[in-house]
Amino acid sequence: MIAETGHYALILALGVAIVQMVLPVIGTRLRDPQLTAIAVPAAQLEFVLIAIAFFALMTAYVTSDFSVLNVWQNSAAAKPMLYKISGVWGNHEGSMILWVLILALFGAAVATFGTNLPRQLQANVLAVQGSIAVAFLLFIVITSNPFIRIDPAPFDGQGMNPVLQDPALAFHPPFLYAGYVGFSMAFSFAVAALIDGRIDAAWARWVRPWTLAAWMCLTLGISMGSWWAYYELGWGGFWFWDPVENASFMPWLAGTALLHSALVMEKRDALKVWTILLAIITFSLSLMGTFLVRSGVLTSVHAFAVDPARGVFILAIMGVFIGGSLALFAWRAPLLSQGGLFAPISREGSLVLNNLLLTVACAAVFVGTLYPLGLEALTGDKISVGPPFFNLTFGPLIVALLIVAPFGPLLAWKRGDLLAAAQRLMAAAIVALLVMVLVLAFTQKGPWLAPLGVGLGVWLILGAVTDIASRVKLFEAAAGEAWRRARNLPRAAYGGALAHAGLGLVVIGIVATTAWRAERIEALAPGQTIDIAGYQLLFGGVEPRQGPNYRARVGMFKVTRNGSPVTELAPSKREFTVEKNTTTESAIHVSWRGDLYVVLGDQLKNGAYSVRVYFNPLVRLIWLGGLVMFFGGGVSLSDRRLRVGAPKRARAKTVVKAEAVPAEK
Amino acid sequence: MTPRSLVRTWIFSLAVVLSVASPAFAVQPDEMLKDPALEARARALSEGLRCLVCQNQSIDDSDAPLAKDLRILVRERLKAGDSDKQIIDFIVARYGEFVLLKPRFEPHTWILWFATPLVLLAALAGIIYGYRRRESTAQAPKPLTAGEKRRLKHLVGEG
């Protein structure tokens, strides 16, 4: 019954989405306020209906209702509750429901909180959102229905891939999707502006918070995915340039560029056409990410050709939305007026450079990800494009970006003074150089580029500090004056500086752990020790243990450092009974110097166990930096100018004035 | 790192020991070569070779049986005294170019390798062209006329 309710709600939501897509556009054309106003309740109702469908599916998972095919395929009665819930989106059908749920949530938010938007813009935005919902609801109902029943109901489910039974991966998809789908807001605003043929700085102000929120979610989602890969894959890698990762990284790169170009548009009314195009590109890349991951084209081009129903459907969705929006862009963009002029050396100029490097870097990832697929489809030749390709193409662009990043915020709008900016950054540059020299002096081994990388990270962090210091006139003005300025500085300025500093942390973490990781691979018998990075690990043997839905063999390690005990580590092998699958688990000891990472292998013929131990220096900075970037986005989002309520109060005042005018007539 | 950020890192990592699932377990102790120089070469070669049955994983990182076979094969060729290039050629002849994580620079990969620099050049040209065009179409502020100058002097109180 509950599953049928969900199914019914899903189909109703499709009907409501069609109404939301069609009527408001007709309303704005006919200048009929009542038709236009339908957009708001339609978007809200659509959200309610999809939420009913989502929770119906979740109920089926939580109560282990194996008469629902999707639950039977992806769950089991003995699975812990967290993974029963995350199992809802741990499979294709459920994840698409989550996708449309987040889409509807964003739409309902614009309907409910966007009361300060011009009616026509709001209606058009919601209509575009409605059209995306129609496409994906059709996709779910036709090709990916999660509410199909089986009769008779089996006694137990087939379980979930043990690799996915993990806390970080439970929350990874919701954040990733919130990012993907969040960029649909920027897309809808861009298309609505093109339909209107009108765009101004206020448009950028409305788009920025949505883009920022989407960017934050995507940043966190990618960080979680990388963190999971780090402990999950058992050798401490954190990024693999895998097509699935690239699929989420491309929208992130384009979205980061969009954040920066929207800044120019909001402040200086320039780069309008480009910002609109970038909004379209960013969401197109999100759609492509969904296509790559959901169509099965990545596992093999042939698998895709054998069962093409889903892939072709998403491909059609992509064709309609990307092709349609680009055609609309080509037709309407020339109508948009060009705004503020600026000199090449200026804040705007630096943001153009930022956009250039980010979009070309995105293009490098795009080519590296899609070229092997295209080549195989066209000629049948199979090639691999791995990390070496991306290091050679993506790497130099990003290094260039990191070098110039601290200059941008120190340049004035319209016409900047590069020399003055350089002088302000002198201290940061000197410290970064000193760090480079020190690192070079204290590390005997490792690639010679590594100290440069660490210096680059320090440069970014100190550049961010310099930015804030020069804005509050620290050391220039009296302490009281600096304090007053620091309090009055907009939160967006702090947010931007935090995000740049977070990026610096990520860079240091990546460089340090790539260049200076230590590794020991040995066959250990109980009682033997292994030495790494100043730690001694005493192997105490292996003992069996029983988990909720698995059996484990746990290796016991006593870790000491210079004779004093540090911790005990227990890496293990888990055997999942329902799924008939084995996983190897790492054990990690975290310290400020880095991670001690132990993996237990198989028993060898002579009774010893093969053991792998790594020391990954400063690796935590990668995810700490990701968190700082996320936090920086949040601080920027809380800026008064972007707050939903703030413009409303200002508007209330103007309304009073506006009413006063006719009274005088 | 400053002491404060150290504290923060500590707090951040209070969940000191994580134990989580992982399927992969790559190079085994019994595979490794006695000669550290040869073993280092083997590791470097392995990092550039793809595990054919995995997704974008090198044979150095993969625990698939096929990856193990390839690792042993690389080490056997090394012990036989082959150069790095000979070994790569040998494996490509056997398994195809798919095994290389860094695609070779050949006619069928020209587009792949040239795409990024070309996009960069095109984008740069586009920006320069757009900027030039805007400069020429935008009206530069005209110099003040003699009358305006007089009026300005008067306004700032020098006249």
Contact A79, A87 (CB under 8 A): yes
Integer Cα distance of A286 and A188 in angstroms: 13
Decide if pLDDT at A659 tops 70: no
Token pair of A607, please?
A: 């009774």
In this prediction, residue A306 carries a pLDDT of: 59
Integer Cα distance of A123 and A34 in angstroms: 11
**Which residues of chain B does A579 touch, with a Cβ-Cβ cutoff of 8 Å?**
none
**Which residues of chain A does B127 touch, with a Cβ-Cβ cutoff of 8 Å?**
352, 356
* Predicted TM-score of the model (pTM): 0.87
- Say if the Cβ atoms of B134 and A610 lie within 8 Å: no
**Residue entry with tokens 């292996």:** A542
Query: CA of A493, closest CA in chain B: separation in Å?
Result: 21
Q: Is residue A168 part of a domain?
A: no
When pLDDT is cut at 50, 70 and 90, the band that residue A305 belongs to is low
Q: Report which secondary-structure segment, H or E, holds A372.
A: helix A347-379
In this prediction, residue A658 carries a pLDDT of: 39
Calculate helix-pair angle for A387-404, B110-137, nearest 10 degrees. Answer: 20
**Which residues on adjacent β-strands are paired with residue A535?**
A532, A561
Integer Cα distance of B49 and B98 in angstroms: 9
What is the residue-averaged pLDDT of chain B? 76
| pLDDT (mean) for A56-81 | 90
What residue numbers bound the domain in which A581 lies? 518-618
In this prediction, residue A645 carries a pLDDT of: 40
Contact B117, A360 (CB under 8 A): no
| Cis bond before residue A162 (omega within 30° of 0) | no
Does A664 contact chain B (CB < 8 Å)? no
- Say if the Cβ atoms of B21 and A602 lie within 8 Å: no
- Say if the Cβ atoms of A589 and B16 lie within 8 Å: yes
When pLDDT is cut at 50, 70 and 90, the band that residue A300 belongs to is low
- Say if the Cβ atoms of B55 and A382 lie within 8 Å: no
Decide if pLDDT at A665 tops 50: no
Does A331 contact chain B (CB < 8 Å)? no
Identify the domain boundary among A134, A161, A188.
A161
Integer Cα distance of A221 and A183 in angstroms: 14
Give the largest CA-CA distance in chain B: 96
In this prediction, residue A631 carries a pLDDT of: 95
In this prediction, residue B141 carries a pLDDT of: 58
- Say if the Cβ atoms of A379 and B119 lie within 8 Å: no
Of B22, B48, B109, the CB nearest to A585: B22
When pLDDT is cut at 50, 70 and 90, the band that residue B121 belongs to is very high
Of A237, A367, A569, the CB nearest to B61: A237
The count of structural domains within chain A is 2
Q: Is residue A428 part of a domain?
A: no
Does A386 contact chain B (CB < 8 Å)? yes
Of B10, B12, B103, the CB nearest to A383: B103
When pLDDT is cut at 50, 70 and 90, the band that residue A277 belongs to is very high
In this prediction, residue A4 carries a pLDDT of: 93
When pLDDT is cut at 50, 70 and 90, the band that residue A190 belongs to is very high
Does A344 contact chain B (CB < 8 Å)? yes
**Which residues of chain A does B99 touch, with a Cβ-Cβ cutoff of 8 Å?**
384
Integer Cα distance of A209 and A197 in angstroms: 22
What value does the CA radius of gyration of chain B take, rounded to a whole number of Å?
Answer: 32
Spatial CB neighbours of A524, under 8 Å, sequence gap ≥ 6: A530, A539, A608, A609, A610, A611
Query: CA of A82, closest CA in chain B: separation in Å?
Result: 15
> By CA distance, what is B118's nearest residue in A?
A360
| pLDDT (mean) for A195-213 | 85
| pLDDT (mean) for A433-450 | 83
When mean pLDDT is compared across A399-403, A515-519, A618-622, B3-7, the lowest value belongs to B3-7
Pairing between strand A529-532 and A535-546? antiparallel
Decide if pLDDT at A228 tops 60: yes
Give the largest CA-CA distance in chain A: 101
Spatial CB neighbours of A72, under 8 Å, sequence gap ≥ 6: A66, A150, A153, A154, A157, A158
| pLDDT (mean) for B78-92 | 90
Decide if pLDDT at A662 tops 60: no
Q: Is residue A157 part of a domain?
A: yes
Identify the domain boundary among A133, A161, A189.
A161
In this prediction, residue A401 carries a pLDDT of: 95
Q: Is residue A176 part of a domain?
A: no
Of A85-99, A356-370, B26-40, B77-91, which has the strongest mean pLDDT? A356-370
What is the residue-averaged pLDDT of chain A? 87
Q: Is residue A315 part of a domain?
A: no
- Say if the Cβ atoms of A241 and B56 lie within 8 Å: yes
Token pair of A413, please?
A: 């709008």
Does A162 contact chain B (CB < 8 Å)? yes
In this prediction, residue B21 carries a pLDDT of: 29
When mean pLDDT is compared across A16-25, A121-130, B30-39, B87-96, the lowest value belongs to B30-39
In chain A, what percentage of residues exceed pLDDT 70?
94
Integer Cα distance of A632 and A48 in angstroms: 32
Contact B119, A365 (CB under 8 A): no
Integer Cα distance of A16 and A31 in angstroms: 22
Query: CA of B150, closest CA in chain A: separation in Å?
Result: 28
3-state secondary structure of A484: helix
When pLDDT is cut at 50, 70 and 90, the band that residue A324 belongs to is very high
Of A336-350, A620-634, B100-114, which has the strongest mean pLDDT? A620-634
Q: Is residue A427 part of a domain?
A: no
Decide if pLDDT at A60 tops 90: yes
**Which residues of chain A does B136 touch, with a Cβ-Cβ cutoff of 8 Å?**
none
Query: CA of A570, closest CA in chain B: separation in Å?
Result: 8
3-state secondary structure of A477: coil
Q: Which long-range contacts (CB under 8 A, 24 or more apart) does A23-30 make?
A: A24/A123, A24/A124, A24/A126, A24/A127, A24/A130, A25/A123, A25/A124, A25/A127, A25/A195, A27/A123, A28/A120, A28/A123, A28/A124
- Say if the Cβ atoms of B55 and A242 lie within 8 Å: yes
> By CA distance, what is A300's nearest residue in B?
B55
Calculate helix-pair angle for A387-404, A449-471, nearest 10 degrees. Answer: 30
Token pair of A173, please?
A: 């998809």
Q: DSSP letters of A593-609?
A: SEEEEEEEEEE-TTS-E
When mean pLDDT is compared across A102-106, A116-120, A245-249, the lowest value belongs to A116-120
Chains A, B: CB contacts within 8 A come to: 182
ipTM of this complex prediction, to 2 decimal places: 0.83
Contact A614, B44 (CB under 8 A): no
Residues A569-582: tens digit of each pLDDT: 999 888 887 777 77
Identity at B146, one-letter amino acid code: A
- CATH code for the part of the protein at B23-99: 1.10.8.640
Residue A448: count of CB within 10 angstroms of its CB? 9
Spatial CB neighbours of B35, under 8 Å, sequence gap ≥ 6: none
When pLDDT is cut at 50, 70 and 90, the band that residue B26 belongs to is low
**Which residues of chain B does A610 touch, with a Cβ-Cβ cutoff of 8 Å?**
25, 28-30
Residues A379-398: tens digit of each pLDDT: 888 888 988 899 999 999 99
Identity at A158, one-letter amino acid code: Q
When pLDDT is cut at 50, 70 and 90, the band that residue A299 belongs to is low
Spatial CB neighbours of A535, under 8 Å, sequence gap ≥ 6: A559, A560, A561, A566, A596, A615
| pLDDT (mean) for A314-321 | 91
Residues A503-512: tens digit of each pLDDT: 999 999 999 9
In this prediction, residue A506 carries a pLDDT of: 96
Of B19, B29, B119, the CB nearest to A521: B29
In this prediction, residue A657 carries a pLDDT of: 40
Decide if pLDDT at A195 tops 50: yes
Q: DSSP letters of B13-50?
A: T-S-EEEE------S-GGGS-SSHHHHHHHHHHHHTBB
Rama region for A83: left / alpha / beta (φ>0; ψ in -120 to 50; rest): alpha
Write phi, then psi, for A207 (nearest 5 degrees).
-75, -35
When pLDDT is cut at 50, 70 and 90, the band that residue A304 belongs to is low
In this prediction, residue B139 carries a pLDDT of: 54
Does A603 contact chain B (CB < 8 Å)? no
**Which residues of chain B does A585 touch, with a Cβ-Cβ cutoff of 8 Å?**
19-22
Of A381, A386, A601, the CB nearest to B25: A601
3-state secondary structure A492-534: HHHHHHHHHHHHHHHHHHHHHHHHHCEEEEEEECCCCEEEECC
Residues A142-182: tens digit of each pLDDT: 988 999 998 888 888 888 777 777 888 888 889 999 998 89
Decide if pLDDT at A130 tops 80: yes
Spatial CB neighbours of A594, under 8 Å, sequence gap ≥ 6: A512, A513, A533, A615, A616, A617, A618, A619, A620
- Say if the Cβ atoms of A385 and B112 lie within 8 Å: yes
Q: How far is residue A621 from each of residues A139, A249, A508, A595, B5, measured CA to CA in Å?
A: 40, 19, 7, 11, 11
In chain B, where the domains are located: 23-99, 105-139
Calculate helix-pair angle for A620-637, A491-516, nearest 10 degrees. Answer: 170
Integer Cα distance of B111 and B88 in angstroms: 23
Token pair of A569, please?
A: 């580590």
Does A370 contact chain B (CB < 8 Å)? no
Integer Cα distance of A407 and B31 in angstroms: 51
When pLDDT is cut at 50, 70 and 90, the band that residue A641 belongs to is low
Q: Is residue A606 part of a domain?
A: yes
Of B20, B48, B127, the CB nearest to A166: B20
Integer Cα distance of A395 and A365 in angstroms: 11
B25 vs A291, more confident: A291
In this prediction, residue A353 carries a pLDDT of: 93
In terms of Cα–Cα distance, which of A331, A234, A321, A333 is closest to A285?
Answer: A321
In this prediction, residue A235 carries a pLDDT of: 67
